[in-house]
Copies of this chain bind each other. A is one copy, B any other.
Amino acid sequence: MSKKINEQEVAELLGNADNILLLAHQYPDGDTIGSNFALCLALQTLGKTVRVHCGDVIPDKYDYLYEDVPQPSFEPDFICAVDVADVKLLGDKTAQLYGDKIDLCIDHHATNTGYAAHTCVDSTCGAAAMVVYRIIGLLGVSLTPAIARCIYTGIATDTGCFKYSNAGALAHRIAADCIDVGIPYEMINRINFDTKSRARIELERMALDGMRFYHDGRVAVMTITNEMVEKSHAGENDLEGLPPIPRQIEGVWVGITLRQKADGNYKISVRTGTHADAADICGVLGGGGHDRAAGCAVDGTLEEATAAILAAVEQTVARITTG
């Protein structure tokens, strides 16, 4: 059973620890990398021996976050996971090595499974970096530009550059504190929000080519087949952030993305506005999720999968079939 502790208690635990191994989640994003390296830098400032471990290769675009942060080798005496909601998210190898020895977890996911000896979760924070920011303050470490660019990156990437509902007042205020000490936020945002690989551009082009509209443009269907992924040379990273695209088109109530799986069948993502409930639509096909974003899976050809999800839309969304 994990003990729930507050940020002051976290600061005390970390203050008394040394030879600290910090753990990021697999498929690393800006928040797990940013919040881990911010904490790493703060603890190193206190003279402690600390490094960050991630079970996956960290994408090159995050180089600016840690290229100057020493990563010494040592036998850990204290293990702390940051922004890791479930021990499985560490990746198989890391979970096997450290999964049952994690002393502390700092997180912002309400779904945290409580796998660590001590857990500190604030699910009102849009990013783990916001929790880490306050812990760094409680550790008595001042915000440096190197720490600030990690915190800012975590907040910006987890809130879609302050666009989503989790970009509350506190997210903006901490971002302002980070900017005050001097960080290249324009460069950070360009790297994270205004850079696409050629493979991604090619994949988007093909996906837009095949976009289909139904019900007077209220339903848009985009398809990503294995052939398109191969042809465009898209990697796993290039496939992120595609499901919102159909719904972003003016007049679209229901945006549907069909993504072919390795076995040839289809995974379906549904995004809706206020006129339709995504969880209801996906529920018809045995899936689920939230009212604005949900998912399901359909076995069969592209035609069969498209027909199934369109039938689910017609069955659940009032007024969609009227002109």
Chain A 149-169 per-residue mask, 1 if CB under 8 angstroms from chain B, else 0:
000000010000111110111
**A interface residues, how many (CB within 8 angstroms):** 40
**Are B198 and A209 within 8 A (Cβ)?**
no
* Closest Cβ neighbor of A162 among chain B residues: B162
**Are B195 and A248 within 8 A (Cβ)?**
yes
**Are B249 and A201 within 8 A (Cβ)?**
yes
Chain A 254-294 per-residue mask, 1 if CB under 8 angstroms from chain B, else 0:
00000000000000000000000000000000000000000
B163, B177, B195, B217: the one within 8 Å of A189 (CB): B163
Residues on B with beta carbons closer than 8 Å to the beta carbon of A197:
249-250
Measured between alpha carbons, how far is A179 from B173 in the docked complex, in Å? 11
Measured between alpha carbons, how far is A180 from B173 in the docked complex, in Å? 11
**Are A186 and B164 within 8 A (Cβ)?**
yes
**Are A201 and B194 within 8 A (Cβ)?**
no
Residues on B with beta carbons closer than 8 Å to the beta carbon of A168:
179
B173, B198, B209, B250: the one within 8 Å of A249 (CB): B198
Residues on B with beta carbons closer than 8 Å to the beta carbon of A233:
none
Residues on B with beta carbons closer than 8 Å to the beta carbon of A189:
162-164
Query: Quick one: copies of this chain in the complex?
Result: 2
Chain A 66-104 per-residue mask, 1 if CB under 8 angstroms from chain B, else 0:
000000000000000000000000000000000000000
**Given that A161-B163, A169-B180, A172-B179 are contacting pairs, would A208 and B201 also be in contact in the complex, using a CB cutoff of 8 Å?**
yes
The interface centre, meaning the residue of A168, A173, A180, A197 with most chain B CB atoms within 10 A of its CB, is A173
**Are A196 and B248 within 8 A (Cβ)?**
yes
Residues on B with beta carbons closer than 8 Å to the beta carbon of A185:
165, 167
* Closest Cβ neighbor of A167 among chain B residues: B185
**Are B165 and A186 within 8 A (Cβ)?**
yes
Measured between alpha carbons, how far is A73 from B24 in the docked complex, in Å? 61
Shortest Cβ distance from residue A81 to the other chain B in the assembled complex, whole angstroms: 29
**Any chain B CB within 8 A of the CB of A176?**
yes
Shortest Cβ distance from residue A45 to the other chain B in the assembled complex, whole angstroms: 23
Residues on B with beta carbons closer than 8 Å to the beta carbon of A213:
198
Residues on B with beta carbons closer than 8 Å to the beta carbon of A244:
194
**Any chain B CB within 8 A of the CB of A129?**
no
Chain A 175-204 per-residue mask, 1 if CB under 8 angstroms from chain B, else 0:
111011000011001100111111001001
Nearest 7 Cβ contacts at the A-B interface: A172-B176, A205-B208, A169-B176, A165-B186, A169-B179, A172-B172, A163-B189
